[in-house]
Amino acid sequence: MTQTNTSSGTSLMSRLGTLVVIPWAGESQDDGRDMAFLMAYTLGDGVAGREGSEEAALTVAKEAGLPVGGAVLDVAQVPKSPVKVLVEGGKAVLTMPYLHVASPVPEQWVAAARARGTVYVILASRPWPEAVPGRAVTEAALQAFAADEDVLRTAAHCLVPVGSLTT
């Protein structure tokens, strides 16, 4: 799990609070093959509290051109999308408006990302204050949050092509 405070829009960032990214790999319901996932979420610690952080996350999704509500956007079909994932040296680097973070990823994640050529990125608008950097997140807690219908319904979902330093 990795956090970032990189921002070009201080007002929005102060409402957003701490953004955190968590990676995992798991079986896709569509085809049974492993999928690499990256979820970005706020801790809800922005200056306007949980509600302000949620509104700010929705603004970030809108500025990035990401639809909220379950539709999965294929970023490869969007000219000049600001959402990018670079996979190199056991790390995934996620870049999008208000977020540029390098997150260590396990080998299973790297293998899934390379095999598919894409990463499933979720920008959750619902805060997850229990999952703070430096504290381990159990598989059960991750599954409970990442599979929660309210979280999924209010999140932006996209497939992002995998980039590398050699491509």
Task: Show me where the domains of the chain are located.
Answer: 2-163
Q: 159, 85 in Cβ contact below 8 A?
A: no
Q: Cα–Cα distance between 15 and 142 in angstroms, integer?
A: 24
The helix/strand/coil state of 166 is coil
The helix/strand/coil state of 57 is helix
42-46, 95-99, 111-115: range with lowest mean pLDDT: 95-99
Q: 60, 12 in Cβ contact below 8 A?
A: yes
Q: Cα–Cα distance between 132 and 120 in angstroms, integer?
A: 22
pTM of the model: 0.90
Task: Quickly state the pLDDT bin for 37 (edges 50, 70, 90).
Answer: very high
Q: Give 50-81 pLDDT, tens digit per residue.
A: 999 999 999 999 999 999 987 899 999 998 99
